[in-house]
């Protein structure tokens, strides 16, 4: 079974600063996907970024980028030039790349607050 661990329950940063959220996972699979989802207060879950395990290049989406260290089973999210709208719960999630097993395993989340 896969597990996902987010060791930072809460974080806060000043607007325009850069913040990094940590995520580690445990799996015996060699081929899988990793995701970061954002859940703003009282709003729905939004996909932020995705990483395929077979790709060495780290994924980037505008101000969001990841540091994927496969050997260390680490998948951190960096948010640059943070904005007030980035305030949300952030969940790291894992999915195996195998037919019939497309379920997400989530971490416990990190509550990120951007301070004006």
Partner 1 sequence: KAGVTQTPRYLIKTRGQQVTLSCSPISGHRSVSWYQQTPGQGLQFLFEYFSETQRNKGNFPGRFSGRQFSNSRSEMNVSTLELGDSALYLCASSQELAIPEQYFGPGTRLTVT
Judged by CB under 8 A, does residue 104 bind partner 1?
yes
Q: What is the dihedral of CA 4, 78, 7, 110, to 10 degrees?
A: -90
Q: How many residues bind partner 1 (CB under 8 A)?
A: 23
Q: Which of 20, 87, 106, 111 binds partner 1 (CB under 8 A)?
A: 106
Are 67 and 76 contacting, i.e. CB atoms less than 8 angstroms apart?
A: yes
Quote the tokens at residue 65: 């980028």
Judged by CB under 8 A, does residue 97 bind partner 1?
yes
Which residue number, 107 or 112, has a Cβ lying nearer to partner 1? Answer: 107
Judged by CB under 8 A, does residue 102 bind partner 1?
yes
Are 108 and 24 contacting, i.e. CB atoms less than 8 angstroms apart?
A: no
Judged by CB under 8 A, does residue 103 bind partner 1?
yes
Beta pairing partners, 60? 65
Which residue number, 18 or 113, has a Cβ lying nearer to partner 1? Answer: 113
Residues 40-59, interacting with partner 1 (CB under 8 A): 43-47, 50
Judged by CB under 8 A, does residue 10 bind partner 1?
no
Distance CA 68, CA 53 (A): 8
CB atoms within 10 A of CB 1: 6
Judged by CB under 8 A, does residue 100 bind partner 1?
yes
């Amino acid at each position: 079974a896969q597990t996902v661990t987010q060791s930072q329950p809460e974080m806060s940063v000043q607007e325009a600063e850069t913040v990094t959220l940590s995520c580690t996972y445990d799996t015996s699979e060699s081929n899988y996907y990793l995701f970061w989802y954002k859940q703003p207060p009282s709003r729905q879950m939004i996909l932020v970024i995705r990483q395929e395990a077979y790709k060495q290049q780290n994924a980037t989406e505008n101000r969001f980028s990841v540091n994927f260290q496969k050997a260390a089973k680490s998948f951190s999210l960096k948010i640059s030039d943070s904005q007030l709208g980035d305030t949300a719960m952030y969940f790291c999630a894992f999915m195996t790349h195998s037919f019939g097993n497309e379920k997400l395993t989530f971490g416990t989340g990190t509550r990120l607050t951007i301070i004006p």
